[in-house]
């Protein structure tokens, strides 16, 4: 599982990496992606909105800080 | 001052990461692209690293950021950086364009515990980083992250970004396109309708072709794509 605010799928923790010199196959990446898990946590900084507003101005109606360059 | 490969790469990668800010849900542009290359089972899979891979591929930085491999699983991606000596635990030395990895259980000193990935857009004076991340609440968003959840970061091998050069062509957009358009105007080419708007449309294709023709390009080189050869000719013309 990768992402944040995600449901707790599978078992979070140390994930054994097979360690071949070549990269993992897509099938193995998908298996790891769906079978290993993470805890659902809120890792948002408490002043995130203030900082993003200072950097990019007011968010749009969906709460997205687009700025002028997006 | 000449633009470095890193500056070009960072600009191009971040430009693609910003594209579609706020988009949410699955499937989306990144998972559809990834699934087309690697199988439909990725259509609705967690997509934070698929978004990074998608942005790298479409910004000409795929070899620099992904080393020729599509990544959906963050642990595999971080491991790829580590194997190439391009991995740093923590945030010392971090800068814009770095690929940043998170562990929601506390940013411990372990790649195998990584949960999430994004790209650094800005480093704040207090050491925190502002990022762009896919699959954050199932959306593409700007985020602010503190050291506590950051495992480390990968430094893309910018020299591998398009062989150190970036080709701009129809459909591209962003600051690099805008800079190209401004240079075309400086050397006397015309962009009568849209000017230097940052979008590489038909008008820019025509201006690039006209410049290539005036520079003696023929055959396949007369293509409306601003690649390394065109860039070199443009730099030469700007010095006259």
Q: What is the pLDDT of residues B20-51, one digit of tens each?
A: 999 999 999 999 999 999 999 999 999 999 99
Number of A:B CB contacts under 8 A? 132
Are A2 and A35 found together in one domain? yes
A35 CA to chain B: closest CA distance, Å? 11
Closest CB from B73, B110, B111 relative to A2:
B73
Question: Looking at residue B85, what is its pLDDT?
Answer: 95
pLDDT range class, residue A2, cuts 50, 70, 90: low
Q: What is the pLDDT of residues A10-69, one digit of tens each?
A: 444 555 555 555 678 999 999 888 877 554 556 789 999 999 999 999 999 989 998 864
Are A5 and A34 found together in one domain? yes
pLDDT at residue B164 greater than cutoff 60 = no
Question: Looking at residue B174, what is its pLDDT?
Answer: 67
Query: How many folded domains does chain B comprise?
Result: 2
pLDDT at residue A3 greater than cutoff 70 = no
| Interface contact flag, B76 A24, Cβ < 8 Å | yes
Are A1 and A33 found together in one domain? yes
Are B64 and B147 found together in one domain? yes
Please tell me which residue, B174 or B17, carries the higher pLDDT value. Answer: B17
pLDDT at residue B228 greater than cutoff 80 = no
Are B176 and B151 found together in one domain? no
Are A33 and A51 found together in one domain? no
| Interface contact flag, A30 B42, Cβ < 8 Å | yes
Query: How many folded domains does chain A comprise?
Result: 2
Rounded distance between C-alpha atoms, residue B55 and residue B59, angstroms: 6
Q: Which of A2, A15, A24, A42 to mutate to test the interface with B (most CBs of B within 10 A)?
A: A2
The residue from B162, B189, B217 where one domain ends is B162
Please tell me which residue, B163 or B56, carries the higher pLDDT value. Answer: B56
pLDDT at residue B128 greater than cutoff 50 = yes
Q: What is the pLDDT of residues B131-142, one digit of tens each?
A: 999 999 999 999
pLDDT at residue A70 greater than cutoff 50 = no
Are B176 and B137 found together in one domain? no
> What are phi and psi for residue B168, nearest 5 degrees?
-105, 140
Please tell me which residue, A24 or B215, carries the higher pLDDT value. Answer: B215
Are B44 and B103 found together in one domain? yes
Are B17 and B123 found together in one domain? yes
Are A34 and A8 found together in one domain? yes
Q: Which of B123, B144, B145, B199 to mutate to test the interface with A (most CBs of A within 10 A)?
A: B144
A24 CA to chain B: closest CA distance, Å? 7
The residue from B162, B191, B225 where one domain ends is B162
Segment 15-54 of chain A within 8 Å of chain B by CB: 15-17, 21, 23-24, 26-27, 29-30, 32-34, 38-41, 43-45, 47-48, 51-52
CATH code for the domain in which residue B222 is found = 1.10.101.10
Average pLDDT over residues B204-233: 92
B114 CA to chain A: closest CA distance, Å? 8
Q: What is the pLDDT of residues B72-115, one digit of tens each?
A: 999 999 999 999 999 999 999 999 999 999 998 886 789 999 99
Long-range contacts of B19-23 (CB under 8 A, 24+ apart): B19/A70, B19/B55, B19/B173, B20/B140, B21/A64, B21/A65, B21/A66, B21/A70, B21/B132, B21/B140, B21/B141, B21/B142, B22/A60, B22/A62, B22/A64, B22/A66, B22/B139, B22/B140, B22/B141, B23/B139, B23/B140
Are B57 and B113 found together in one domain? yes
Are B158 and B192 found together in one domain? no
Q: Which of B14, B20, B73 to mutate to test the interface with A (most CBs of A within 10 A)?
A: B73
Please tell me which residue, B36 or B199, carries the higher pLDDT value. Answer: B36
Tokens coding A65: 């800080």
The residue from B162, B186, B221 where one domain ends is B162
Q: Are A4 and B137 spatial neighbours (Cβ–Cβ below 8 Å)?
A: yes
| Interface contact flag, A48 B69, Cβ < 8 Å | no
Are B98 and B46 found together in one domain? yes
| CA B136 to chain centroid | 19
Residue among B210, B214, B219 at smallest CA distance from B236:
B214
| Interface contact flag, A21 B110, Cβ < 8 Å | no
Q: Residues A48, B20, A60, CA angle at the centre, nearest 5°? A: 50
Question: Looking at residue B1, what is its pLDDT?
Answer: 43
- Percent of chain B whose predicted confidence (pLDDT) is above 70: 94
pTM of the predicted protein model: 0.73
Neighboring chain B residues of A21 at a CB cutoff of 8 Å = 83
Question: Looking at residue A24, what is its pLDDT?
Answer: 84
pLDDT at residue B116 greater than cutoff 90 = yes
Quickly list H helices, chain A.
26-35, 48-56
pLDDT at residue A5 greater than cutoff 50 = no
- pLDDT, chain B, mean: 90
Domain housing B74: 5-162
Closest CB from B22, B67, B175 relative to A62:
B22
Rounded distance between C-alpha atoms, residue B155 and residue B95, angstroms: 9
Are B49 and B108 found together in one domain? yes
pLDDT at residue B165 greater than cutoff 60 = no
Are A25 and A58 found together in one domain? no
Are B107 and B149 found together in one domain? yes
Domain housing A54: 44-70
Question: Looking at residue A21, what is its pLDDT?
Answer: 56
B87-89/B150-154 β-pairing:
antiparallel
């Amino acid at each position: 599982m990768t992402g944040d605010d995600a449901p707790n799928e599978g078992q979070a923790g140390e994930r054994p990496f097979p360690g071949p010199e070549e990269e993992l196959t897509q099938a193995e990446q998908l298996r790891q992606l769906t079978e290993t898990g993470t805890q659902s946590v809120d890792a948002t900084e408490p002043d995130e909105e203030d900082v993003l507003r200072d950097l990019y101005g007011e968010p749009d109606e969906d709460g997205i800080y687009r700025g002028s360059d997006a | 001052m000449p633009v470095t490969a890193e500056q070009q790469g960072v600009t191009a990668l971040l430009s693609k990461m910003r594209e579609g800010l706020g988009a949410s849900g699955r499937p989306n542009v990144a998972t559809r692209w990834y699934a087309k290359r690697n199988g439909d089972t990725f259509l609705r899979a967690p997509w934070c690293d698929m978004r990074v891979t998608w942005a790298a591929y479409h910004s000409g930085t795929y070899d620099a950021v992904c080393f020729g491999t599509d990544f959906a699983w963050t642990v595999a991606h971080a491991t790829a950086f580590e194997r190439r000596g391009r991995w740093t635990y923590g945030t010392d030395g971090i800068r814009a364009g770095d690929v940043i990895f998170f562990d929601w259980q506390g940013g411990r000193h372990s790649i195998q515990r990584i949960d999430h990935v994004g790209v650094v857009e800005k480093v704040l004076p207090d050491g925190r980083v502002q990022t762009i991340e896919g699959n954050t609440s199932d959306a593409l968003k700007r985020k602010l992250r503190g050291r506590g959840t950051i495992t480390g970061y990968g430094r893309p091998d910018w020299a591998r970004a398009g062989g150190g050069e970036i080709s701009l062509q129809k459909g591209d957009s962003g600051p690099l396109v805008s800079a190209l358009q401004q240079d075309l105007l400086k050397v006397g080419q015309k962009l009568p309708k849209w000017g230097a708007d940052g979008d590489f449309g038909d008008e820019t294709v025509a201006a690039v072709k006209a410049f290539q023709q005036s520079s003696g390009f023929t055959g396949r080189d007369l293509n409306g794509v601003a690649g390394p050869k065109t860039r070199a000719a443009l730099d030469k013309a700007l010095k006259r």
